[in-house]
Amino acid sequence: MRTKESSGVDRVVIVGVCPEVEAGRFPVKRGVGQVMTVEADVFTECEEPMDVLLKYRRADSREWNHTPMCRIGQERFRGSFRLEEAGLYRYTIDARPSAAAEGGAIDGTVEGKSERWVSYERELPLLVTPVRARYGAWYHTFPRSCGEPGRHGTLRDLQSQLPRIAAMGFDVVHVPPIHPIGRTGRKGRNGVAVAGIDDPGSPWAIGSHEGGHTAIHPELGTMADFRELMTSARSLGLEIALDIAFQCSPDHPYLSECPAWFRRAKDGTFEWVIDPPNEYRDVVGFDYACADWQGLWRELHRVVEFWIEQGVRVFRADNPHTKPFPFWEWLLAQVKDAHPEVMFLSEGLTRPAVMHHLAKVGFDQTYDYFPWKVSKPELIGYYSYLARPEIRDYFSPVLWVNTPQVLPMCLQGKGPRAFASRLVLAATLGSSYGVYGPAFEVCENRPERSGKEDYANSEQFELRHWDTERPGNLRDLITRVNAIRRQNPALQSNDGLCFHPVDNDRLVVFSKTSPDGTNVVVVVASTEPDHTQRGWVTLQREQLGMLQGRPCLVHDLLDDRTYDWSAPRNYVELGPEGPIAHVLAVRI
């Protein structure tokens, strides 16, 4: 006979606790400023009033805060608290039959038998992430292409671009690695195996005699330039996101200083980084399980801390799946413990389970599969999946319309309408979205080869000059879309997403609703923007907190027109002669 559990005292059951990621093994994520809501089934065998408390504390504090949970169903309770500061928290639930507290028994069972609280069996972790980890517009650009034509651009050149980027309404400027680039194995234009004498090499081939992961490529400038860039960015409300690519050119100082940190082939030579089907013959990889793994891990931690000292708050991890999960879990916990305001974006990969596990072990955000979600079923299927509460609890996507490595098939050879349509979709479907900026602004649409997603003359291997003023550029639309995002809280979260029926398989209609329900935006987009698409939209009004039959005006935030959508079904038409999309603020 078991003792405590079976003594008849612990009659209180606390189950069905929500949210909870893998039974508390990994933290639930929420953003600063959000409200954390917790629900649970709490009951005893008899029907009786219960006192239920939601308890929470900072992980580094022993002091619990508590707030009552209220009955919202037969045995279901709900409580919530506001998240004021980033950092790691713990939460759990205490409960007891109310009768004991009130001094009067509801029935004979409880009287005098449970003066005490029963705690839920787990203290669950909650990671409160910075605002930028939930909501932001990202602009990817290569500093070395920011200069005058024919000249290697610098950090100062990038700095001079910041006001333009800020004016378009972006929040984060993401740059590739800014460190010295190796010579050995350097790749040439379009990724060919042998570089020409003037080829600048890939910024991801980090390290030369000029330094490694804490140095700046001399042609880009100095550490002082970098600090000035950071100051300038901050004054414009921009974050600079740095790329952390933990891999080394064969010329990296680490190879001579700490050769034991690297992977070796059977013949004793250093091993190239292999990420099937790619082989990166300009970089070698760390051995995270080498004898001196603790030394290696500490050094990589030091690299991140170095850049935090220079003011960096946003990091984007390159090829995260070529490093072990325990490494990331440890590194990210270390950094966040000391700097809760710092955030990490994980690059995407073709293995969803691995990508989602990286989010669980601590990445705040992750690239998603937006470039390959083009048709209506693909978009609805994938974003309905990502909108599931149990996925949203740990996975926060950044919808990249394009990246330096991916010119999506749906944009290859296409004109501004295709680019504009994908921009509106990404920027409204996702609270975080990004563009590989200059190439996107000018609708660069040439792949290196037919059937491949690499850009022709990719900036990864050569300098490019972008004439962002050229006719057909999308600056005005981008500026408008980013302004709409800033003015509409509904678009700053992925929590209130709902798809609506429309009787055309090439039209997608969805709404987003702000957490307080006061801001509703309905988006009508076409998956074939080069052809006219017509359809009847049936807005699911009850999903939007609207009554059937009541007047409903919608205001198009893209072209400032207003429509009467009081009828149950409403006609829409998108196409070459008409609007590219509707982004409709609903006046309830």
Binding-site ranges for a copy of itself (CB under 8 A): 1-2, 5-11, 13, 15-16, 22-23, 25, 41, 43-47, 74-76, 107-109, 113, 121, 263-265, 271, 274, 276, 285, 287-290, 293-294, 297-298, 320-327, 329-330, 351-354, 357
Return the closest-CA partner of residue 465 out of 442, 445, 434: 442
Closest distance to a copy of itself from the beta carbon of 174 (Å) = 23
The residue among 74 and 256 lying less far from a copy of itself, judged by its C-beta, is: 74
Q: Which of 318, 364, 441, 444 is catalytic?
A: 318
State which residue, 24 or 200, has the beta carbon closest to a copy of itself: 24
Q: Measured from the CB of residue 3, what is the shortest distance to a copy of itself in angstroms?
A: 9
Please name the residue ranges forming H helices in 168-265. 223-235, 253-257
Cα(552)–Cα(112) distance, integer angstroms: 58
DSSP 334: H
Of 292 and 559, nearer to a copy of itself (C-beta) is 292
Of 10 and 516, which has the nearer Cβ to a copy of itself?
A: 10
Q: Is 184 helix (H, G, I), strand (E, B) or coil?
A: coil
- Which member of 171, 225, 299, 347 is catalytic? 347
Tell me the closest approach of the beta carbon of residue 104 to a copy of itself, in angstroms: 10
Query: Annotated catalytic, 347?
Result: yes
Find the shortest distance in angstroms from Cβ 43 to a copy of itself.
6
Residues 6+ apart with CB under 8 A from 156: 221, 225, 228, 229
Round to whole Å and give the CA distance between 36 and 34. 6
Nearer of residues 41 and 573 to a copy of itself, judged by Cβ: 41
CB 416 within 8 Å of CB 443: yes
Least Å distance, CB 330 to a copy of itself, is 5
Cβ(258)–Cβ(224) under 8 Å?
Answer: no
239-244 and 314-317 beta bridge pairing: parallel
> Positive or negative, the Cα torsion across 468, 472, 478, 484?
positive
Q: What is the enclosing helix (H) or strand (E) of 533?
A: strand 533-538
Question: Minimum CB separation from a copy of itself for residue 541, in Å?
Answer: 21
Q: Which is nearer to a copy of itself, 237 or 295 (CB)?
A: 295
Task: Residue 482: name the closest of 472, 492, 473 by CA.
Answer: 492
Smallest gap from Cβ 118 to a copy of itself, in A, equals 11
Specify whether the CB–CB gap between 162 and 238 falls below 8 A. Answer: yes
Contact partners, residue 151, CB within 8 Å, separation at least 6:
none
The Cβ of residue 441 has, within 10 Å, a number of other Cβ atoms equal to 23
Catalytic site residue 63? no
Question: Closer to a copy of itself at the Cβ: 17 or 240?
Answer: 17
Q: And the tokens for 66?
A: 């508590």
Phi and psi, residue 63, nearest 5°: -85, 120
Rg (CA), the chain: 27
Residues designated as active site: 318, 347
